[in-house]
Amino acid sequence: MHPITILMYCLSFLSLYLSIFWLSLLYIEEKTMKEKPEKIDYFPKVSVILPAHNQEKIIAKVLRSVLSLDYPKDKLEVIAVNDDSTDRTGKIIEEIRKKDKRLKVIHRHPGFVGKAAAVNEGLKIATGELIGVLDGDDPSTAKCALKLMVPYFKDKKLGAVMGAIKVWKPKKLIEKLQWFEYIFVTVMRRLLASLNALYVTPGGAFSLYRKSVLDKEGPFDESSLTEDLEMAMRLQHKGYKIKLEIDCVNHTKVPDTLQGFHRQRVRWYRGWLHTVYKYRDMILNRKYGFLGMVQIPVSIFLPILLIFVTIFIISSLIKWAYDWIILTGLGIYPEFSFFKEVFTTPNIIILTFTCTLILAGMYMLSRSQKILQENWRYPLIIMPYFTLYQLLLSSYWLVAASYEVLRIKKKW
């Protein structure tokens, strides 16, 4: 048997295995996904840190939403870090502070330092037992009920809790595609959390950290492109648990241009590569359970596979176009024989592999929408989401890997 065919069989096996595993886990977990930890009678003080850079249009809305969170007023403190804004952001924050003394402000001048450094500034003056981190550029209006998240901290081994994220008012195609992704990823993360293998605590999800853990393990890594991912991996590395509260929903604004999307994804993927390299001792380490033995290796393997699939598809298309030109030159006007050629036996294995993933993905997506109480929206975009969008993401993995190989300077 040809080595490529053997590889194809292995990939089909792996995709089938992972699909069965995740679907079974979803089946088991779906019943208990909405279960809450025991209620608490004591509310620890929470400091919400909000870094902001030139956000005059939305900062007031975000601040008001955080200050009006459903949590005892005397137990909530908000720290806005004005990171070298050149617009009216600083003034707006000051105006709100005059009306609400729970709001503390740090004005950083001169020089924009980025989210991690800004959050670390806020951490220095935070007095809460728990630290909430929210992206200041989110028009999300933090609706998440803190009361749902705080009880998780009864578990002393818990380092952080994150909420669910949904896309804020998607209008353009690229936003709608991300809407599907966020729904899907939130439920996947909830499943990972059930296996104690959650390795990301995004700011957009209003993540809540235990202050004593941050004091002990150190602040956010300012050199990281994805400081939230790095922090989550660090917590897992040190043996802390991370949970996800599915009913604590926040909305986030996603890039609405291809250029913005490209920049964000390349940053994320480069950040992931750096973080995995930093905590490489977790890979295939039994001490880290499912995360070390399965999730991280799969997360490394999958991008590599996606890069190869992208190269394969692009080169196939180029070859098809080249063949078409040559055959036309030979006096043959080939019909669009793509589908005819797709159904050859080696391609059937690739098709089985792809279809298994797409079908499992579609089922997971439909369940995820139900879990997150969403209706079936944008039915025409589902197939592009599972095909073209994944191809686009794969190409960003390729770009991120190329940037790393070429040592192109990291940009936030």
Partner 1 sequence: MVEKKYLLVTSLILTISVFLGGIFIGWTLDHYRADELLENIKQSELTTESFIVEESFIDHYGGNRCELLNSRVYAMQNLIHTTGEQLSKWGEGDSFQSRDFDYLKRKYIISEIRFFILLDDLQNSCGSDYNTILYFYEKDKDSSAKQGHVLDELSKDYDDLIVLSIDRYYSDEPLVELLVSEYGITVTPTIIINSKIKLEGLTSRAQIESAIK
Which residues are near partner 1 by CB under 8 A? 1-2, 5, 12-13, 16-17, 20-21, 24-25, 28, 194-195, 290, 294, 323, 326-327, 329-332, 334, 344-346, 348, 352
Residue 136 has phi, psi (to 5 degrees) of: -70, -20
Contact 385, 177 (CB under 8 A): yes
Contact 206, 132 (CB under 8 A): yes
Query: What are the CA-CA distances from residue 354 to residues 22, 97, 378 (Å)?
Result: 16, 54, 22
Please, what is the minimum distance in Å from the beta carbon of residue 29 to partner 1?
Answer: 8
Please, what is the minimum distance in Å from the beta carbon of residue 320 to partner 1?
Answer: 12
Closest C-alpha to 231, from 293, 278, 187, 284: 278
Please, what is the minimum distance in Å from the beta carbon of residue 327 to partner 1?
Answer: 6
What are the residues whose beta carbons fall under 8 Å from the beta carbon of 372, sequence distance 6 or more?
164, 166, 183, 186, 187, 246, 249
Contact 44, 71 (CB under 8 A): no
Please, what is the minimum distance in Å from the beta carbon of residue 331 to partner 1?
Answer: 3
Can you tell me whether residue 207 is helix, strand or coil?
Answer: strand
Q: How far is CA 162 from the centre of its chain?
A: 11
Please, what is the minimum distance in Å from the beta carbon of residue 177 to partner 1?
Answer: 29
Please, what is the minimum distance in Å from the beta carbon of residue 80 to partner 1?
Answer: 42
Comparison of 294 and 362: residue with beta carbon closer to partner 1 = 294
Closest C-alpha to 247, from 166, 306, 319, 324: 166
Comparison of 17 and 277: residue with beta carbon closer to partner 1 = 17
Other CB atoms within 10 Å distance of the CB of residue 55: 26
Comparison of 338 and 376: residue with beta carbon closer to partner 1 = 338
Length of the chain, in residues? 412
Comparison of 7 and 40: residue with beta carbon closer to partner 1 = 7
Comparison of 218 and 346: residue with beta carbon closer to partner 1 = 346
d(CA 145, CA 11): 42
Number of helices (H), then strands (E), in the chain: 15, 7
Please, what is the minimum distance in Å from the beta carbon of residue 322 to partner 1?
Answer: 9
Comparison of 278 and 367: residue with beta carbon closer to partner 1 = 367
Comparison of 259 and 345: residue with beta carbon closer to partner 1 = 345
